Structure 1
Amino acid sequence: MPVHAGLLALSPHLALLALPAIPGLERPAEAVLRGAGGVLRPPLSWQAITGPEGRLHLLLARTQPGLAAEAPLVLAPSDGPALRLWPEAAEDAASLLGTDAPGPLLALLRFVAGKALGAFRAGEDPSLATACHAMAAGLRDGARAAVPAARCGHDALLWTLPAPASGPHLLLTRGRIQRVALAGEHAILPDTGAAEAWLLPPAGDAPILLPRVPTRLPGLTHLARGKEPQARALHRAAQAELARRAAAEPPMRRLLRDQQLLLPTARVRQHAIAGAPFGAGLDLAVPDHGGGLFLRGWLRDPMGMIAGLTLCNPFGEQRLDPATLLRFPRPDLVKEFAGAPHGGADARAGFALWLPEGATRPAAQWRLRLGLTTGEAVTLVAPPGLLHPQAAREAILSAIAPAHASAALMTRAIAPPVERLHALVMAGRGAPEVIRMGAPVRDPACACIVPLYRNLRFLRAQLGAFARDPGLREVELIYVLDSPEQRDEVEHMLRGMQRLYRLPLTLVVQPRNYGYGAACNAGAAEARAPVLLLLNSDVVPAARGWLAPMLTALRRSRKLAAVGPKLLFEDGSLQHAGLYFLQMPEEEEWFNDHYFKGHPRHWPAAGVARRVPGITGAAFCVKRAAWQAVGGISTDYVIGDYEDSDLCLRLRAEGGEIAYAPEAELFHFERQSIRDHGGYARSLASTYNRGLHHRRWSADIAALMARFARAGGRR
């Protein structure tokens, strides 16, 4: 006789089989189950529960051939005779179990929902979620109801639970099953819209009903501004819940950050009284958007009254070891407190520190509590520190004067947060706007890419020189604007010159200032020519015919990847005749330098075409294939500096060579194209870039320069 079994279709993809207790069959999971289509395919998950008529064995399986109502199955145990099963369709969970008693139904629901998120990866199956939601609704009589308290952003709600709950729970909606972790009386859960939902505890208790949410529900900001104790208590509970989950859940971290941004800021507070026996300030407390925190401040303690330092935020405190503070000179404080009655400021009164995990929860403002030897405390308040990654990067790079930035400061306090922030800035780049003027060159020999940033003084002279040179008529001219606030001005200027000179032009407008490397890459993406020429906006040709020698050099040598011209200062003296690397006796890092810089224009050695270690990005002519092989110019460097030598070294790593073509002469009004960038000119950006370049290429540079030294000796 066949054994009758119940079969419930949970969704088009999953089915549940229920077998009565069979004498001698204690471990059905060890048996082999076959249908008309052969052995049932895994995953197969078994669970035993107790119903009103005794023990039931439940099997959750994927829908497959042979698993259907009135289609016989054969169950072959490992140690007994095979059994013939006859599945009969069940209308719902209660008919499958033979009871609607809460206990068996709850056990069935926990089994199905838990396995759906486990072996079956079916949490996003809407049909299964609807079936589980219906099972939970069958437990309504014994359920407890939560109360919606506030909206948390656009897609989450704060709930007050009927009793404190902890640990992983299952959230059941009509479209999804997901696991959530609870820890107390309040929970922030996804907004399920107008429909009710259910929270399923891991064991014991009945489900928690999340009823339909009223249309009008206060937001967290409204609670923060409220005067009622209950509203403020709810806001504190929400902040605590956000803080608990912020480190592991990016959406919660983002919501916590946004809430912090809207909080009223406290007044910045220093202790800078000349007549006091000590003084201190916390000038910057800037999160690096990766869990770390950068601090800059100062301490004046001639009488030795500061016994301890504690960094505070709304979510906790952290003791700081004074020995870990990296000190640097603050001449302004030495001057300000020179006549203080208890003693002035130490020459190295400034301090900086990077805490890699100091800001796992974003806080709007940070405080530094000074514990005094008297047992009293003084609290300093930093300016608001939650900044856009680009602003945070600039703040850190501007925190210390370049002359005072030691190697330890750069390595341990500046470079790590800047690297994190710069990566975020570059990852957030949007697509540029491309504006084409005039009919494009049909078969361009070269694409000339000119990044523009604020300084437009040389644009008319440069484009006028291009227009007078017949060799530029077959060149794509691509200007990349890295200061989008000038878009209208630059487009108006270029359209006028395009009509005047009849030169086709392309203007690429970056959405934000992302620096030289990103600008060059954006221009190269619009180019069609087999050769790319990167040209600074402050470079102007000295005469016609300057491009041909570089193109000829590239065409004649398969090994050659890039070539650079002779660059001249405004007075006609040499600025660049090839780039090489120099290591000063007192410095560990390699610097970029230029052959024959400052020599007369016609210095004989500078008139010799030759291979060189590198060339400057001010005028960089490179084969497109070689450019693409190395992925273009690196965007790891901040704003602009050392990307050109980095590109040279990457081209060399791919087997390419670099050459210098003295017949090509241009004037370079050095660093005019970057002088208006306050975030670069007065900051540690160049120092940061040099350190990055050195860490990346030090061994390669040493070998390269040794090779060039040997070659020079043979000559």
Structure 2
Amino acid sequence: MIKQNFLNFQILVELLKLSINFCFYFVTRAQEILKDKISFKKANNPPEIIKCLLRIYPIPGYQMSSNLNGYLGTTIRNILKNRRKPEIIKVVKEYGTKMSYPEVSIVVPIYARIDFMKYQLALFADDPDFQDNELIYVLDDPRLYKDFVDYCDAQAATFQVPFKTVYSGANLGFSGANNLGVSVSSGQLILLINSDVMPIESGWVSSLVNIYKSLNNVGAIGPKLLYANGSIQHAGMKFIKCSPWGDLLINDHPRKNQPNFPEHDYKPQKLAAVTGACLLVSRQLYEQVGGLNEEYIINDYEDSDFCLKLHTQGFDNYYIPDLELFHLERQSVSLYHKNEELWQTNRTKYNCWLFNQKWGKYINDKNL
């Protein structure tokens, strides 16, 4: 109990330093959950409050549900729910010939590693698909704005690939950045790809589009993604119970890290979800389900949440084993979050808890 009270005091001190409006829940000696509102004059800054909480507060796996159900998860969820969202300014710039009626809008969020843009454009340069469709880079890292502007000028001149950039003046996270990119796009199909996804050959966008059009009642589809050593990173997603985390459901990537042996069947495989690292969906469906959910912190569970929203409306999601790309998983994120293992682990635990709050019963009821 002394340790618990000390932790609560430590959190309160750190939050007071932030001088921000927030609602904070804490546990008294009687373990009663109380709510106290502390008001300050300065503007709201939810990301810093949340990061402070998750960086300080331990969340043992076996107590995840009780801790997050009781006070910590409720606090964070209320902070996010009641936050004042940053004003979106949408600074848009075109490079090269503007696509008047593109079939596909390819949306790529950029965070930390702007050099990934150069590697992608070098691979896109000889691909006709990138002359006929709309490529949009979303800068989601205000620290890099000046460098990004100069970088775009240089890459546009070097590779001659038409593209558009959009900048909001704020870090919106994975969901917010993708939603921003879609909001300035014009294609009838939306292809979300991470900046660290690299194609193996040309024509992959057209192949993905043709497969999408061939499927009935289709929601979202995603190809096979490989690590740089050729092993499997993504071959669709399923949901399994994680015993170290109190049997909460987590995203499972079947065959992850396994050798990329030839498939027994190259036909599209119907699965509950596919990764947002490379995901194709129609604009109509993207808008119909409200895009990616911005309740999650940074980049966990948004893609499975999105796929389940499609599933609830009767659409099927497919993994495409016949199409392969490389994925340099999370290299940009790790660059800027070194020595913050507790923050990263607790962020994932919170997102897992939130995902289960929203989807646990549905997954179990549907046996997904």
Instruction: Give the TM-score normalised by structure 1.
Output: 0.47
Give the aligned residue type for 2:34: L
1:294/1:448 CA distance change after superposition, 3 Å: same
**In the aligned structure 2, how far is the partner of 1:431 from the partner of 1:400?**
35
User: Which residue does 1:693 correspond to in 2?
Assistant: 355
Contact 2:86–2:170 (CA<8 Å) still a contact in 1?
A: no
**In the aligned structure 2, how far is the partner of 1:428 from the partner of 1:660?**
35
**In the aligned structure 2, how far is the partner of 1:488 from the partner of 1:291?**
32
Task: Determine if the alignment matches structure 1 residue 482 to structure 2 residue 122.
Answer: no
Give the aligned residue type for 1:412: G
Task: Determine if the alignment matches structure 1 residue 324 to structure 2 residue 31.
Answer: yes
User: Which residue does 1:283 correspond to in 2?
Assistant: 10
1:616/1:280 CA distance change after superposition, 3 Å: closer
**In the aligned structure 1, how far is the partner of 2:262 from the partner of 2:365?**
28
**2:120 partner SS:** helix
User: Which residue does 1:702 correspond to in 2?
Assistant: 364
Q: Deviations over 1:547-596 (max 9, x none)?
A: 22210122123411211011001110111111111113453311101122
**1:673 partner SS:** helix
C-alpha displacement of 1:632: 1.0
Contact 2:130–2:161 (CA<8 Å) still a contact in 1?
A: no
User: Which residue does 2:23 correspond to in 1?
Assistant: 292
Contact 1:446–1:532 (CA<8 Å) still a contact in 2?
A: yes
Give the aligned residue type for 1:624: R
Contact 2:269–2:318 (CA<8 Å) still a contact in 1?
A: yes
- The structure with the largest alpha-carbon Rg is 1
1:630/1:604 CA distance change after superposition, 3 Å: same
C-alpha displacement of 1:514: 1.7
1:413/1:550 CA distance change after superposition, 3 Å: same
Give the aligned residue type for 2:121: L
Q: Deviations over 1:138-184 (max 9, x none)?
A: xxxxxxxxxxxxxxxxxxxxxxxxxxxxxxxxxxxxxxxxxxxxxxx
**In the aligned structure 2, how far is the partner of 1:538 from the partner of 1:471?**
19
Alignment of 1:186-225 (within 5 A): none
User: Which residue does 2:189 correspond to in 1?
Assistant: 531
C-alpha displacement of 1:661: 1.6
User: Which residue does 2:153 correspond to in 1?
Assistant: 495
Alignment of 1:426-441 (within 5 A): 427-441=85-99
**1:622 partner SS:** strand
Task: Determine if the alignment matches structure 1 residue 388 to structure 2 residue 45.
Answer: yes
User: Which residue does 1:519 correspond to in 2?
Assistant: 177
Give the aligned residue type for 2:160: R
Alignment of 1:229-378 (within 5 A): 282-285=9-12, 286=15, 292-294=23-25, 321-324=28-31, 355-356=34-35, 358-359=36-37, 361-362=38-39
From 450, 473, 478, give the equivalent of 2:108: 450
**In the aligned structure 1, how far is the partner of 2:189 from the partner of 2:84?**
26
Q: Deviations over 1:651-670 (max 9, x none)?
A: 11122111122222111111
Give the aligned residue type for 2:130: L
1:435/1:591 CA distance change after superposition, 3 Å: same
**In the aligned structure 2, how far is the partner of 1:445 from the partner of 1:430?**
26
Contact 1:518–1:635 (CA<8 Å) still a contact in 2?
A: yes
**In the aligned structure 2, how far is the partner of 1:496 from the partner of 1:386?**
37
Give the aligned residue type for 1:438: G
Q: Deviations over 1:499-542 (max 9, x none)?
A: 22222211111221121101000000111111111111111112
Give the aligned residue type for 1:686: T
Of Structure 1 and Structure 2, the greater strand share is in 1
**In the aligned structure 2, how far is the partner of 1:676 from the partner of 1:432?**
26
**In the aligned structure 1, how far is the partner of 2:69 from the partner of 2:130?**
46
Give the aligned residue type for 1:400: Y
**In the aligned structure 2, how far is the partner of 1:519 from the partner of 1:535?**
12
Structure 2: state its 5+ residue gaps: none
**In the aligned structure 1, how far is the partner of 2:212 from the partner of 2:301?**
23
User: Which residue does 2:283 correspond to in 1?
Assistant: 624
From 562, 565, 580, give the equivalent of 2:223: 565
**In the aligned structure 2, how far is the partner of 1:672 from the partner of 1:511?**
23
C-alpha displacement of 1:402: 4.9
From 505, 510, 514, give the equivalent of 2:163: 505
1:541/1:681 CA distance change after superposition, 3 Å: farther
**In the aligned structure 1, how far is the partner of 2:360 from the partner of 2:216?**
27
**2:165 partner SS:** strand
C-alpha displacement of 1:677: 4.8
C-alpha displacement of 1:625: 0.9
Give the aligned residue type for 1:553: I
C-alpha displacement of 1:648: 0.2
Contact 1:431–1:511 (CA<8 Å) still a contact in 2?
A: yes
**In the aligned structure 1, how far is the partner of 2:248 from the partner of 2:6?**
34
Task: Determine if the alignment matches structure 1 residue 659 to structure 2 residue 336.
Answer: no
C-alpha displacement of 1:602: 2.8
1:605/1:399 CA distance change after superposition, 3 Å: farther
**In the aligned structure 2, how far is the partner of 1:548 from the partner of 1:668?**
19
User: Which residue does 1:675 correspond to in 2?
Assistant: 334
Higher relative contact order (CA 8 A, sep 6+): 2
1:575/1:321 CA distance change after superposition, 3 Å: closer
Residue identity (%): 27
Give the aligned residue type for 1:668: H
1:292/1:570 CA distance change after superposition, 3 Å: same
Of Structure 1 and Structure 2, the greater helix share is in 2
From 417, 420, 426, give the equivalent of 2:78: 420
Instruction: Give the TM-score normalised by structure 2.
Output: 0.87
**2:93 partner SS:** strand
Contact 1:452–1:482 (CA<8 Å) still a contact in 2?
A: yes
Question: Displaced runs of 4+ in structure 1, greater than 6 A?
Answer: 287-291
**In the aligned structure 1, how far is the partner of 2:82 from the partner of 2:169?**
15
**In the aligned structure 2, how far is the partner of 1:608 from the partner of 1:558?**
14
From 585, 588, 593, give the equivalent of 2:252: 593
Contact 1:389–1:424 (CA<8 Å) still a contact in 2?
A: no
User: Which residue does 1:245 correspond to in 2?
Assistant: none
1:291/1:585 CA distance change after superposition, 3 Å: closer
1:618/1:503 CA distance change after superposition, 3 Å: same
Q: RMSD in angstroms over aligned alpha carbons?
A: 2.9
